[in-house]
Amino acid sequence: MAAAASPSADGAEEPGMEAEELPLGCGGGGEGGAAAGRPPEAEERPDLSQASVSNGSDSESGKELVELKVIWNKNKYDVKFRLDSTGADLKQKIHSLTGLPPAMQKVMFKGLLPEEKTLREIKVTNGAKIMVVGSTINDVLAVNTPKEAAQQEVKAEENKKEPLCRQKQHRKVLDKGKPDDVMPSVKGVQERLPTVPLSGMYNKSGGKVRLTFKLEQDQLWIGTKERTEKLPMGSIKNVVSEPIEGHEDYHMMAFQLGPTEASYYWVYWVPTQYVDAIKDTVLGKWQYF
């Protein structure tokens, strides 16, 4: 063990003394001693008291959060969520809030929310509104079962009648021929709804009509030169269609707005590739994107 250094004659410490005494203080009692005796992990443990919490649960310490307003079925939820989470992660969070299974959610932020991209990548910012459209499984079963039964009854009745396109009320519209601005059709193919309105069609009076599907509002807009009708999709009782004879790549289609056939709103020259997507969207059978 090295001998202790002697002070100089004038009482000042020799060079190097201060550096040598530091370890002695560290090994002694008091605060220094308590720090030395503390387990290493205790020294490095972060203070979690200031960590942000996502909507009252699941600690998000160390993650950048964004504040969202999730709106579903007139309900609003204030949510803090990780900015680097994906759209699929957000759907799981919405499931925990609303009970909506992710496969039955249509989540909208500047269009349909991509599941594979992060909120940061699609430029979600604080205060962003996230629109959710969808029904729980129980709601779908309660609403769709009568609709499906009604649709089957309508099909059975149609089989007993002459083709719709030969009936006088439709013949006067179809005899005008195909509209000049009709949208192109693709026979034998089923496509999802386009991002633009379906246009270039006639209604029963022979006037031009366009269909706009407002998924974020769960509405169908039927627009003519005179006005635009904004219909909640849940108010449409049924959708029927039939290929136009001699032009099987186009359909005539009716939206049932009331309890009887007298409430049908007819649209002519609907491209065949969109027929199934229209029925599924309006009647609540979700499209998988």
What average pLDDT does the chain have? 78
Strand pairing report for 128-133 and 65-72: parallel
- Residue found by looking up tokens 């060079």 in the block: 15
Paired tokens of 237: 């009782």
Distance between CA atoms of residues 101 and 91, nearest Å = 8
pLDDT tens sequence across 140-174: 666 555 556 666 666 666 555 678 888 888 999 99
Chain centre distance of CA 91:
8
Spatial CA neighbour of 252 closest among 188, 157, 158: 158
Paired tokens of 187: 């026979």
- Name residue 189's beta-bridge partners: none
Which 3 state secondary structure label does DSSP give 271?
Answer: strand
All residues at 6 or more sequence positions from 120 whose CB lies less than 8 Å from its CB, including other chains: 83, 84
Residue 39 phi/psi, 5-degree rounding, is -60, 145
Distance between CA atoms of residues 92 and 125, nearest Å = 20
Q: Is the pTM of this model over 0.85?
A: no
Check pLDDT > 70 for residue 102: yes
Residue 243 burial class via C-beta count within 10 angstroms: exposed 0-12, middle 13-18, buried 19 and up: middle
The whole-number pLDDT of residue 152 equals 66
pLDDT tens sequence across 208-233: 999 999 988 889 999 999 999 999 98
pLDDT tens sequence across 251-276: 999 999 998 888 999 999 999 999 99
- Crossing angle of helices 30-37 and 17-27, rounded to 10°: 60
The whole-number pLDDT of residue 197 equals 94
All residues at 6 or more sequence positions from 211 whose CB lies less than 8 Å from its CB, including other chains: 197, 198, 199, 201, 220, 221, 222, 223, 267, 278
State mean pLDDT over 165-194.
Answer: 91
Could you list the beta-strand ranges (E) of the chain. Answer: 53-54, 57-59, 65-72, 75-82, 106-108, 128-133, 198-203, 208-214, 219-223, 228-232, 238-244, 247-256, 264-271
Task: Enumerate helices (H) and strands (E) in the chain, giving the number of each.
Answer: 7, 13
Paired tokens of 236: 């449409």
Distance between CA atoms of residues 15 and 213, nearest Å = 86
